[in-house]
Structure 1
Amino acid sequence: MATPTARPLAFVALIGPPGVGKSTASGRLAEAYGARLFRLREFAQLSCAAGWVTPESFLTNDLLGWFSDNTVEALIGEAFLRGRFPLSSLVVCENFPGTAEQVHILRRTAQWLGAPLSIVELNADDDVLRARVDNRWVCGTCEPDLDGQPHRPAQPSLEDTGRCQGCGQRLSRRQSDDPKAFARRLERYRNRLSGIRAAADSFGVSYQQIDTTNSDPADLSRLLRDLSPACLTGVKNDIDNVGAAPAPAR
């Protein structure tokens, strides 16, 4: 098992409804701080391929294919307590935790590692979410995926918006962005959000909300301005060196 001396200095968990810009915002934070970006789904694929977690652990009757809390706890243990996930001065957890119990799992793990945990909830109007989802594309070449379902937003080429700017291959839509799937995911998120907020409050986890309705989730200066100082506790990078982003008020 990893020892508490080999630890990140902070965990920041980004949650929010589908289409709010979690992948974009977490990627920008990772670039700014040299942080490690933790995506539960990607780590689950790695764990299954490496044999760290048995395939049977991922069996679920959930209509959206979401993992049970027990499976999530096993994955988090493999990632952070058994040292399967390389740690850095900041770990950004994208789209996690997804339930009240997962707040407890992540908080307990962060405490064991001696790292502060902050949860940041991104939100936006439903019409904005739908518009962002309708204009979102992925690239299966730049993001090879074991399940054939690439997730990270791809940048369309300026010359041909149907092709990837990075590799020139054809872009596709996320399967989870299908209108019916989007509606189910949004409903599921809304139903679980009050429990996540309550759990963070009861456990004393730093929690804040940032509205991205009228701003681009890729606007790092806005994101950093709105993040509370607690979210960046212990991060080594000097915030003044990150683009034109001003230091958060203390």
Structure 2
Amino acid sequence: MALSLLVPILGPPASGKTTLTLALGKDPDRHVFRLREHVPPGVVMATVSSGPRNLGWIDESVVEQAVRAYLESVVGDPLIQTVLMDNYPGTADQVRALLDVVEAVAPRCVVEPVELVLDPKVRRKRAQSRRVCHRCEHDPAADPRMPARPSRVGGWICANCKSLLHTRRGDAPSLFAARSRRHQDTVDDVRAAFDSAGIATNVLNAIVPASAVASLVEPMLIARSNTA
């Protein structure tokens, strides 16, 4: 077994990208890539103070090095067949850099991007209701991103560790709006970059529950990984 399928999972804020990667990444031969986990903590810290427009934005040279190092390590792991990329790539330059790295380290690997789309009003409502746990997720910038599961006792108590949950920093109205605008500014170029490489983007409406979205993507993962 070797890396045969790479699935960038794209979409605007609160469209369900991380929830989808969590659902699909449970199989032992799949691995989830999140950029923040592969760059130095100091770089992550710097993104928090970079202003609303560039919130979470990491220098392209750092990004390219991190992605290359990650894929080189994955290619050397015989147990990993599929990589799910949570919210990456985010720009056309990142698409081109990613495809160059894949061609260099895993030329037989199939790239199959999935884009989630969702009405802005629904996304805002989702953002207002989602919670994170600072105790369960030790983020280097104290800005956890993973969706926490609230207990049945109350929506603000973590079902896992019983500590108080919080809203995501990036879901504050002004920051959420800035992140949404940034996605809108780049999404067409990202699609075009994949198109120019002969790679079609699978677009899915994320209005349905996450489990339903996962059930739509799962057969494609199985089919592609078996034929790659």
The TM-score normalised by the length of structure 2 is 0.86
Q: Is the 8 A contact 2:36 2:44 kept in 1?
A: no
Deviations 1:109-165 (A, max 9, x none): 222213111110001000110010000000111111111111100010001221101
206, 209, 212: which one aligns with 1:216 = 209
Q: Tell me what 2:23 maps to.
A: 28
Q: 1:68 and 2:67 equivalent?
A: no
d(CA) in 2 for partners of 1:230, 1:211: 18
Q: Aligned pair in 2 of structure 1 residues 168, 137: CA closer, same or farther (>3 Å)?
A: same
Instruction: Verify: 1:81 aligned to 2:81, yes or no.
Output: no
Task: Report the counterpart of residue 9 of structure 1 in structure 2.
Answer: 4
User: Is the helix fraction higher in 1 or 2?
Assistant: 2
Aligned residues: 220
**Cα RMSD after superposing both structures:** 2.7
Aligned partners of 1:117 and 1:231 also within 8 Å? no
> CA 1:227–1:107 in 2, change beyond 3 Å: closer, same or farther?
farther
For 1:139, give the aligned amino acid. C
Which digits, 9 at most, give the CA deviation of each residue in 1:67-109, with x for residues without a partner?
Answer: 1322211111221235699571111000000000111122122
Deviations 1:201-231 (A, max 9, x none): 0011231100112x112x1x54333567478
Cα pair 1:57 1:71 within 8 Å, conserved: no
Q: Deviations over 1:152-202 (max 9, x none)?
A: 000100012211011111101111110000000000000000100100000
AA aligned to 1:135 is: S
Distance 1:85 1:156 in 2: 38
Unpaired segments of 5 or more residues in structure 2? Answer: none
Change (3 A) 1:226 1:76: closer
Q: Is the aligned partner of 1:95 residue 2:63?
A: no
Q: Which amino acid aligns with 1:128?
A: V
**How many percent of aligned residue pairs carry the same amino acid?**
29
Q: Mapping of 1:1-250 within 5 angstroms?
A: 7-32=2-27, 34-44=29-39, 48=40, 63-81=54-72, 88-112=80-104, 113=106, 114-213=108-207, 215-217=208-210, 219=211, 221-225=212-216, 229=220, 232-235=223-226
Change (3 A) 1:200 1:142: same
TM-score using structure 1 length: 0.79
